[in-house]
Amino acid sequence: MTFNSILDTIQTYEAGKPIELVVREFGIAPQDIVKLASNENPLGASKKAIEAITNNARNAHLYPDDSMFALKEGLSQHFNVSQQEIIIGSGSDQIIEFCIHAKAHSNSKVLMAKITFAMYEIYSKTTGATILKTQSQSHNLDEFLEIYKAHKPSVIFLCIPNNPLGDCLDKAEVFKFLKEINNDTLVIIDGAYQEYAKAKDSKKAICPKELINTFPNTIYLGTFSKAYGLGGMRIGYGIAKPNIIQALSKLRPPFNITTPSLAAAIEALKDQEHIQKTTQNNLEQMAYYESFAKEKGINYIPSYANFITYLFETPLNSSKIADYLLKKGMIIRNLASYGLNAIRITIGTKNQNEKFFTLLNEFLEQK
């Protein structure tokens, strides 16, 4: 059987290794495995969200309210935007997919940073669009602007802070850049890690309402997967002007969120104290990662997210380090597939982080 030729160009996304796989492959007991690979919230979800899932287990046979009225109402209040300016996705990933399918096609161009969230490229390729990338490792808006002017892409991705590197543009420079962009180019501001960035430095905070009111060609993406601790429930959201939301809604499959996920997100949003605890733990524990790196002479990228990237120099090799840690039950993300001799570690709890320091130290001393 033949398939559309576009499939030949698509690479499957390489997710962080799940604990289940390490159990199966290395025979390590689940309780002895620490996963700091997928930027999950080490404190878990809000107790209220967990309760909402439990309370909705008996409604598992009922399709969710596909209008998602209650969640949109909550987001509408939280961000001071109207319900017509909100779309809900199965993770913000799915909203990336809607954006791409609404704007890109085989004759259009999509612009993104050299190293950024892999799904931007994967979804773009399903349309046959040409991918344009900047040269610099960090988000460089001068390069973005130069490529924009030369190629007029129909979609631009800015990941603020950037995953998997952790660097973060200032709001002021983003707004300055956006002034240069034509109204028919959709600019996607991926704020998956904004809660962490805001907590560290208010200059990084992007207010979705201000963003879309100033630049009606933008969409802000947020997620419940990171600071809200609901990565396993698959809920993200997009905030944009109603004309954009209407177009994307045509591509939203019915019932794209599960019944317990909807209930969990509604409760998680109400528990802002949990977000504060989460970002507080993140800042405190991040400091240990910075000290450890300095002490051992490892380069790192100052991070505005809930992970940190350690950059190695030969003879140190990120793949060898990742393998060593994996066999000891410590899962982190090797960034070799991004062309980097680096690893990305999710900031965990104190205990989890100490296990990481012990194991990496062990590896370094063996050398």
For residue 153, the minimal CB distance to its own copies (Å) is 14
The answer to whether 313 touches 341, Cβ cutoff 8 Å, is yes
For residue 230, the minimal CB distance to its own copies (Å) is 5
| Candidate list 95, 111, 233, 322; residue touching its own copies; CB under 8 A | 233
184 binds its own copies per the rule CB under 8 A: yes
Q: Residues in the chain, how many?
A: 367
**DSSP letter string, 79-120:** HT--GGGEEEESSHHHHHHHHHHHH--TT-EEEE-SSS-HHH
Nearest CB to its own copies, comparing residues 32 and 313: 32
| Candidate list 34, 36, 41, 223; residue touching its own copies; CB under 8 A | 41
For residue 131, the minimal CB distance to its own copies (Å) is 16
Q: Look up tokens 């259009």; give the residue.
A: 108
31 binds its own copies per the rule CB under 8 A: no
Nearest CB to its own copies, comparing residues 210 and 231: 231
The answer to whether 185 touches 216, Cβ cutoff 8 Å, is no
Q: Hey, which residues between 193 and 222 contact its own copies (CB under 8 A)? A: 216-217
116 binds its own copies per the rule CB under 8 A: no
64 binds its own copies per the rule CB under 8 A: yes
> Going residue by residue from 247 to 286, which x/- string records binding to its own copies, judged by CB under 8 A?
x-xxx-xxxxxxxxx--x----------------------
Interface stretch with its own copies, choices 60-68, 288-296, 314-322, 346-354 (CB under 8 A): 60-68
| Candidate list 32, 67, 173, 201; residue touching its own copies; CB under 8 A | 67
Nearest CB to its own copies, comparing residues 3 and 315: 3
267-301 burial: b if 16+ Cβ within 10 Å, else e: bbbebeebbeebbebbeebbebbeebbeeeebebb
Residues 6 or more apart in contact with residue 210 via CB below 8 angstroms: none
For residue 283, the minimal CB distance to its own copies (Å) is 19
Q: Which residue stretches of the chain are H helix? A: 19-26, 47-56, 69-79, 92-103, 118-125, 141-151, 171-178, 194-200, 208-214, 242-249, 259-270, 272-296, 318-327, 350-366
| Candidate list 33, 34, 40, 282; residue touching its own copies; CB under 8 A | 40
Q: Pairing between strand 86-89 and 307-311?
A: unpaired
